[in-house]
Amino acid sequence: MCKQCGCVVFIEEGPESVLKRVVNIIAEMGVTVENVQCFEDGERICGFIAARVASSDDEEVKEIAEWVAELHESLYAERSRTYAKVAREVFANFPQSFSPKEVITEWHQLEQLCRELGDGLVVSMDEGIRDVIRAVQHVHDNPRQRRLELMKRHRIADL
């Protein structure tokens, strides 16, 4: 659970509040079993970009990494443009009524909240909602495969 996406408020209110918020997010964003990976791809590509620019707490490692980045500046600049292009392509598949930042924040909250749901609550839901919740709960299964699929879909050599 994290504080930035706001999930903690619903978790503290209890399982019924979590379930209600999950159902609302699914409806608001139009999350389906078929498009779960689309939303996850948005989070995934942003994670790849952030991993490339995040600073290290270890000053020596940070200094070395910055030096290596300078040595490969043209290569990193090209990759940066590629990652940004892929991010825009992924964002284009999001619901148009929300900004990409809003979608990724809501998606992240949905993931966090779905982790909190026990099977007892999920089983009692409408089959469509239940299937979406379970798809969200398993969206991180096979991460290596999902990464390769994203790379292949967007024709990128390295993430």
Q: What is the pLDDT of residues 11-58, one digit of tens each?
A: 999 989 999 999 999 999 999 999 999 999 999 888 877 776 666 677
Q: Which of 2-11, 79-88, 140-149 has the lowest mean pLDDT?
A: 2-11
Rg of the chain in Å (alpha carbons): 18
CA distance 76 to 69: 7
Quick one: tokens of 126?
Answer: 């409408």
| Within-domain flag for 113 | yes
| Within-domain flag for 2 | no
pTM: 0.83
Quick one: tokens of 118?
Answer: 């026990």
| Within-domain flag for 159 | no
Structure confidence at residue 119 (pLDDT): 80
Range of the structural domain that residue 68 is part of: 7-153
- Give the distance from CA 156 to its chain's centroid: 19
| Within-domain flag for 126 | yes
| Within-domain flag for 1 | no
Helices 59-71 & 73-91 angle (0-180, nearest 10): 90
